[in-house]
């Protein structure tokens, strides 16, 4: 006879012993087993037991005011916390900062994946995530205070490469949450916004001989749930607790939204248009980095505005937004529903999403920044005297193919005005963000440079780019004075070579027509042929090659023009203001090599940026291509004329002249 596993919350919580390791599910304010947290708090307050628990959690799970894991702040209840986010349980964070409990701030994806390691009986997880950050044992090993001494992160070498080994902590109790359960404990998630790590957490506890307690909102009869709808099988579940509706809200701000649960699809009438303020300026400039047909992750804060800009510019169909919580596609939710999505294409488990992210699946991410220093290091985890935690920031920022950090130039009271396309600083922020050294290193600039990862830093008044020499000022907003409005409010002087104006469209009320840039619709207008002189002019001024597909579009456009010319052409290319992602220089040189071998007689390029000229010359020389890169257009055209004269005197074919 099958056992009926449905019991009360009090009966389930009574099974927890002193010093147990407890893991719980939840993402920010969604999918939190509130009834279980409340019952654990009640038992401890009334009896003083259980004491000395270790809490393991992936993302923050609470409202920052005492709900969720914030209920577990009582002295003596916890002795250790392993979490990606402490900001959602501020009193627990304060206890850690006061050395009353031990604590580790691990990357969210690592904790998520460690559940699987625990479930499989493995000792831990090998990952490059966290190298060169505060998680690296050389920089603290993710310990949050002096009381914490045990090393759970080790630096190891495998086949000559550095890796971090994260030790798995065996789990005794797992709090998970679902929508429906039958008496045997089979669980389905039909009304949940996310599935998170519930299956992996249940397996980890069950295979360690621990207990799994599932909170649900309804009990259904045996045989009601279809096999493919069961996301956690009953063999993994020990207890099922039926929660009151108020304790089983979709999130703290929403009782239930079927569109977020994927039960229905709703018309999306459009996100409210943003006012032209500092947040919109930042979001607009960051939107220029969006890769066509790419997969994107957006962080909280300033990056969230990209969704609104993308909707206004009608480019939403050409990008796929994702969340680390597991949502793919649709319209990303914000506020209390952050992490979920309306009209999502798919919801996968959180640990699976981090597999995708860690493997390089993200084409671009846009994340916030609390502090940044001259080496390009970014801090989002510990600042202003508070332990916030890294969340998924380290996984995402280290492994995305392109990274945009976005935020206001200063913080605390910043006011700006946009008048006639010009930016005016009305009141400067009280706190500087660009500091000599970040308080905690959540993103390593030098490590990104080492791996040729493209990184830019977007503010309302300027844009920086990460280079081997450190942070370089590459764009300045109209109306902004570099000395007065930028350098005077930084603790260090960035590299300043030849910054160009930020795109003027950013500072106007009307839409920017960004879709033309994103889909390279204007590429053909950038290529023109002078038949009398046999010169192909390629104007790449201000053009941005984000991803390899952009380069493919450019190559096809040039090839088409050359074929129409019917002969090898003398190419003159304007690279003023041209931007090429750091990891594409070799591909770009390969494209030039191909064009030179098949379509060009001579090739000359000009760019006023000394840095760009140097990078292009290095890449072309490496490919064995003559690096004719000049500073001015006149020099480039003069070179073409000289080469033509030589060819005429020697009476040789364009192909031979090119090879010479």
Kindly list the catalytic residues: 324
Q: What are phi and psi for residue 336, nearest 5 degrees?
A: -65, -20
**Helix ranges, 467-609 (H):** 514-518, 548-565, 585-598
Reading the block at residue 99, the tokens are 């050395």
* Structure letter (DSSP) for residue 293: T
Euclidean distance between CA atoms 573 and 625, whole angstroms = 15
* Structure letter (DSSP) for residue 652: -
Q: Is 538:569 a contact under the CB 8 Å cutoff?
A: no
Give the three-class secondary structure for 491: coil
Which of 217, 180, 210, 365 shows the shortest CA–CA distance to 286?
365
Euclidean distance between CA atoms 358 and 314, whole angstroms = 30
The distance in angstroms from the start CA to the end CA of the chain is 88
**How are beta strands 187-188 and 230-232 bridged, if at all?**
antiparallel
Q: Is 26:196 a contact under the CB 8 Å cutoff?
A: yes
Euclidean distance between CA atoms 499 and 480, whole angstroms = 12
Q: Is 28:59 a contact under the CB 8 Å cutoff?
A: yes
Euclidean distance between CA atoms 69 and 24, whole angstroms = 8
Residue with tokens 């990460």: 466
Q: Is 184:212 a contact under the CB 8 Å cutoff?
A: no
Give the three-class secondary structure for 150: coil
Strand ranges, E, within 255-293: none
Question: Is the bond preceding 561 in cis, omega lying within 30 degrees of 0?
Answer: no
Which of 265, 264, 201 shows the shortest CA–CA distance to 231?
201
Reading the block at residue 310, the tokens are 């993308």
Give the three-class secondary structure for 379: strand
* Structure letter (DSSP) for residue 61: B
Reading the block at residue 476, the tokens are 């300045």
Residue 501: half-sphere exposure toward Cβ, Cα within 13 Å:
11
Listed in sequence order, the residues at least 6 apart from 440 whose beta carbon sits closer than 8 Å to its beta carbon are 134, 379, 381, 382, 383
Q: By CB neighbour count within 10 A (0-12 exposed, 13-18 middle, 19+ buried), where does 483 fall? A: exposed
Q: Is 68:86 a contact under the CB 8 Å cutoff?
A: no
Which of 226, 227, 251, 225 shows the shortest CA–CA distance to 240?
225
Euclidean distance between CA atoms 591 and 576, whole angstroms = 19
Biggest alpha carbon–alpha carbon distance for the chain: 101
């Amino acid at each position: 006879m099958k056992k009926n596993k449905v019991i009360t919350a009090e009966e389930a919580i009574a099974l927890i012993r002193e010093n147990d390791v407890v893991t719980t599910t939840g993402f920010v304010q969604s999918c939190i087993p509130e009834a279980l947290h409340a019952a654990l708090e009640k038992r401890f307050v009334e009896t003083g037991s259980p004491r000395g628990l270790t809490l393991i959690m992936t993302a923050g799970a609470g409202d920052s005011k005492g709900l969720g894991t914030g209920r577990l702040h009582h002295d003596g209840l916890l002795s250790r916390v392993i979490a990606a986010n402490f900001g959602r349980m501020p009193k627990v964070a304060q206890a850690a900062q006061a050395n009353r409990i031990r604590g580790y701030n691990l990357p969210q994806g690592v904790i998520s994946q460690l559940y699987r390691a625990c479930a499989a009986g493995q000792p831990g997880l090998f990952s490059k995530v966290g190298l060169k950050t505060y998680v690296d044992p050389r920089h603290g090993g993710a310990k949050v205070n002096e009381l914490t001494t045990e090393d759970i992160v080790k630096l190891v070498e495998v086949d000559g490469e550095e890796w971090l080994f994260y030790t798995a902590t065996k789990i005794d109790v797992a709090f998970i949450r679902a929508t429906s359960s039958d008496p045997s404990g089979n669980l389905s998630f039909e009304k949940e916004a996310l599935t998170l790590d519930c299956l992996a957490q249940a397996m980890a506890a069950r295979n360690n001989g621990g207990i799994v307690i599932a909170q649900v909102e309804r009990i259904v009869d045996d045989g009601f749930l279809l096999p493919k709808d069961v996301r956690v099988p009953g063999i993994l579940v020990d207890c099922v607790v039926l929660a009151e509706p108020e304790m089983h809200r979709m999130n703290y701000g929403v009782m239930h939204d079927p569109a977020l649960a994927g039960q229905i699809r709703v018309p999306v009438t459009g996100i409210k248009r943003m006012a032209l303020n500092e947040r919109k300026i930042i979001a607009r400039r960051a939107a220029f980095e969006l890769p066509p047909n790419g997969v994107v992750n957006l962080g909280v804060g300033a990056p969230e505005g990209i969704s609104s800009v993308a909707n206004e510019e009608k480019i939403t169909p050409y990008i796929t937004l994702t969340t680390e919580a597991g949502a793919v596609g649709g319209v990303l939710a914000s506020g209390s529903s952050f992490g979920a999505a309306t009209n999502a294409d798919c919801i996968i488990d959180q640990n699976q999403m981090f597999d995708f992210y860690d493997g390089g699946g993200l084409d671009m991410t846009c994340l916030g920044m609390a502090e940044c220093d001259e080496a390009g290091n970014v801090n989002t985890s510990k600042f202003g005297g508070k332990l916030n935690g890294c969340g998924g920031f380290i996984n995402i920022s280290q492994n995305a193919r392109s990274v945009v950090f976005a935020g206001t130039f200063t913080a605390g009271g910043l006011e700006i005005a946009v008048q006639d396309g010009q930016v005016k600083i009305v009141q400067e922020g009280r706190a500087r963000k660009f500091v000599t050294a970040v308080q905690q290193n959540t993103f390593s600039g030098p490590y990104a440079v080492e791996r040729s990862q493209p990184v830019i830093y977007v503010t309302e008044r300027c844009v920086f780019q990460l280079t081997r020499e450190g942070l370089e000022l590459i764009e300045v907003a109209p109306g902004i004075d570099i000395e007065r409005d930028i350098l005077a409010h930084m603790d260090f002087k960035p590299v300043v070579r030849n910054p160009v104006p930020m795109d003027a469209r950013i500072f106007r009320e009307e839409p920017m027509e960004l879709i033309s840039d994103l889909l390279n619709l204007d590429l053909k207008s950038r290529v023109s042929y002078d038949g009398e002189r046999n010169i192909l002019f390629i104007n790449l001024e201000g053009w941005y090659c984000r991803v390899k597909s952009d380069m493919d579009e450019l190559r096809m456009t040039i090839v088409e023009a050359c074929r129409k010319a019917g002969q090898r052409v003398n190419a003159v290319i304007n690279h003023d203001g041209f931007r090429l992602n750091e990891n594409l220089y070799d591909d770009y040189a390969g494209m030039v090599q191909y064009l030179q071998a098949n379509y060009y007689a001579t090739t000359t390029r000009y760019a006023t940026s000394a840095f760009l000229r140097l990078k292009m010359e290095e890449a072309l020389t490496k490919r064995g291509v003559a690096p004719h890169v000049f500073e001015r257009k006149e020099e480039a055209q003069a070179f073409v004329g000289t080469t033509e004269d030589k060819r005429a005197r020697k009476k040789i074919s364009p192909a031979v002249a090119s090879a010479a």
